[in-house]
């Protein structure tokens, strides 16, 4: 009987993989941000589905953001360095929440200052609102000290999609490039 139980345990353990542990919050199976249709900084229509085959990281912000946006994009720039030869399998998508000021030319200059492969995406006010709602992203204009000046309060996390185009992870603001790179490598390996 003991032999049977040992054989049964050995048989049942074959092919059983432990669940993958990610550093970021696992959202596998979630339906946040299924797709969008926005213009990149070169005027090309882009959809989330265009990036199948790569890990895509989607981040919302604006070019005049004083802290969260440049910090996040710098962290993602460092993540690319840590990925080495696999860096070309990661696509960073920066979606502006300020289409009024963030022109295509400004987005091109801004995102390329972090990395030439980063894409800046924009739509009109209605498209921006619909896309933010689809991703459950909060944003609100805050009046500045002079007429016409403003800042934008906004959600600070990023969404990560695997090479099959499925939502997998939520990166909280301040996650280290090392931990992001570890998660990206797992997704690229099909985990």
Residues annotated within a binding site: 65, 69, 154
Q: Are residues 125 and 99 in contact, defined by beta-carbon separation less than 8 angstroms?
A: yes
Token pair for 122: 């924009």
Alpha helices in 67-170 (DSSP H): 68-83, 104-112, 125-134
Q: Are residues 86 and 185 in contact, defined by beta-carbon separation less than 8 angstroms?
A: yes
In the annotated binding site for Cu cation, the residues are 65, 69, 154
Largest CA distance in the chain: 83
Closest CA relative to residue 132, chosen from 98, 174, 181: 98
User: Rounded to whole angstroms, how far apart are CA atoms 10 and 169?
Assistant: 33
Closest CA relative to residue 132, chosen from 27, 71, 62: 62
Residue linked to tokens 């802290």: 67
Q: Let me know the angle formed at the C-alpha of 183 by 134 and 87, rounded to the nearest 5 degrees.
A: 90
């Amino acid at each position: 009987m003991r032999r049977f139980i040992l054989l049964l345990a050995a048989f049942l353990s074959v092919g059983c993989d432990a669940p993958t542990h990610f550093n970021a919050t696992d959202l596998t199976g979630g339906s946040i941000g299924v797709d969008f249709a926005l213009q990149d900084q070169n005027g090309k229509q882009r959809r989330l589905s265009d990036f199948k085959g790569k890990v895509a990281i989607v981040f919302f912000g604006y070019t005049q953001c004083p802290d969260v946006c440049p910090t996040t994009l710098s962290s993602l720039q460092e993540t690319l360095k840590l990925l080495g030869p696999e860096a070309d399998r990661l696509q960073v998508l920066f979606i502006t929440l300020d289409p009024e000021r963030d022109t295509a030319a400004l987005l091109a200059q801004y995102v390329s200052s972090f990395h030439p492969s980063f894409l800046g995406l924009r739509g009109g006010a209605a498209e921006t609102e619909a896309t933010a709602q689809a991703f459950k992203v909060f944003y609100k204009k805050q009046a500045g000290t002079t007429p016409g000046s403003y800042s934008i309060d906004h959600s600070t996390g990023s969404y990560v999609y695997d090479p099959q185009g499925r939502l997998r992870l939520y990166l909280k603001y301040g996650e280290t490039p090392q931990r992001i790179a570890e998660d990206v490598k797992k997704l690229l390996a099909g985990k």
